[in-house]
């Protein structure tokens, strides 16, 4: 696809984002990352976009020096995280924005090729290798089998850094982890990313306020008591933590996350 690699404007665990052409960016897999990892995003993103979900349009695919990439529109505007830090958006407003995006995702029909929660965990275990004690991997797989069947589309990485505040409204990016799972799994993912990781390891210690506002607004929009939402997400917390551990994010939190997973699995026995 016509374009040239420009300045690096973002990076993540599996891919880097570069300027590509006027109004476009290219998201390239990091060196050494298997092509199927980013190819899954290349399949999910246009399918969600075509289904009316809050995903960007995929403009093309490229291969550069052995790295697979997808070309996407370049959204102008700060991330929701940046907007809260500058005060342009309050933490309560940020939570409401995330809740509305969650519901929009959950109301979008899952693409036929979307992985189930069990399939997503199996894929992450293949990628992550033997980095966790067998008792944890065995326990979390058993927990997934025990919980409710997959039923809605989940983004699986819905946090303020993945929302861009454009003049046309919030835009949700980074669909690599899109999967079929209960909505409670998504809320559990948001809870861990915002309330457990954020306050200790981000420079915005009041992100927990965003999480509280998200859960309150999602419960209101979904027409359910907040206590019911809290109870529904609890069993999914250890699953979310295992995904994070297998992804290698925040190695300084590894022991704390393992302890929380083990405690949660024991309570499920």
What is the block-wise mean pLDDT of the chain (269 residues), using blocks of 10 residues?
87 90 94 82 94 95 91 95 94 97 96 92 81 90 90 94 94 94 97 78 65 97 97 96 84 86 85
- The string of DSSP codes covering 133-201 is -HHHHHHHHHHHHHSPPP-EEE-S--SGGGEEEETTEEEE---TT-EEE-HHHHHHHHHIIIIIIHHHH
Q: What is the largest CA-CA distance in the chain?
A: 55
- Measured CA to CA, the distance from residue 240 to residue 148 in angstroms comes to 15
Whole-number pLDDT of residue 248: 74
Specify the pLDDT at position 204.
55
Cα distance between residue 127 and residue 111, in whole Å: 23
Q: Do 115 and 180 touch, CB atoms closer than 8 A?
A: yes
* 91/207 Cα distance (integer angstroms): 7
Residue 25, SS3? strand
pTM of the model: 0.92
Confidence at residue 201, expressed as pLDDT on a 0 to 100 scale: 47
């Amino acid at each position: 696809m016509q374009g040239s690699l420009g300045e690096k404007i973002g990076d993540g665990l599996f891919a880097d984002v570069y300027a590509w052409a006027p109004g476009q960016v290219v998201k390239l897999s990091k060196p050494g990352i298997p092509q199927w990892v980013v190819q899954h995003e290349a399949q999910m993103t246009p399918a969600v976009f075509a289904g009316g979900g809050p995903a960007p349009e995929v403009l093309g695919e490229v291969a550069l020096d052995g790295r697979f990439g997808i070309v996407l529109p370049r959204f102008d505007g700060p991330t929701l995280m940046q907007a809260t830090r500058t005060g342009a958006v309050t933490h309560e407003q940020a939570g409401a924005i995330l809740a509305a995006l969650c519901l929009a995702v959950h109301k979008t029909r899952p693409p036929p090729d979307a992985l189930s929660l069990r399939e997503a965990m199996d894929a992450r275990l293949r990628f992550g290798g033997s980095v966790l004690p067998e008792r944890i991997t065995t326990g979390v797989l058993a927990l997934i089998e025990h919980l409710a069947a997959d039923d809605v589309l989940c983004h699986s990485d819905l946090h303020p850094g993945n929302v861009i505040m454009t003049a046309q409204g919030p835009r949700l990016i980074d669909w690599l982890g899109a999967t079929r799972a209960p909505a409670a799994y998504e809320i559990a993912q948001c809870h861990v990313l915002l309330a457990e990781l954020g306050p200790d390891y981000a420079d915005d210690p009041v992100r927990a306020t965003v999480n509280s506002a998200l859960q309150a607004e999602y419960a209101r929009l979904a027409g359910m008591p907040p206590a019911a939402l809290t109870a529904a997400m609890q069993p999914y917390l250890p699953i979310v933590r295992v995904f994070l551990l297998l992804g290698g994010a925040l190695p300084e939190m590894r022991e704390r996350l393992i302890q929380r997973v083990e405690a949660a699995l024991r309570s499920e026995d």
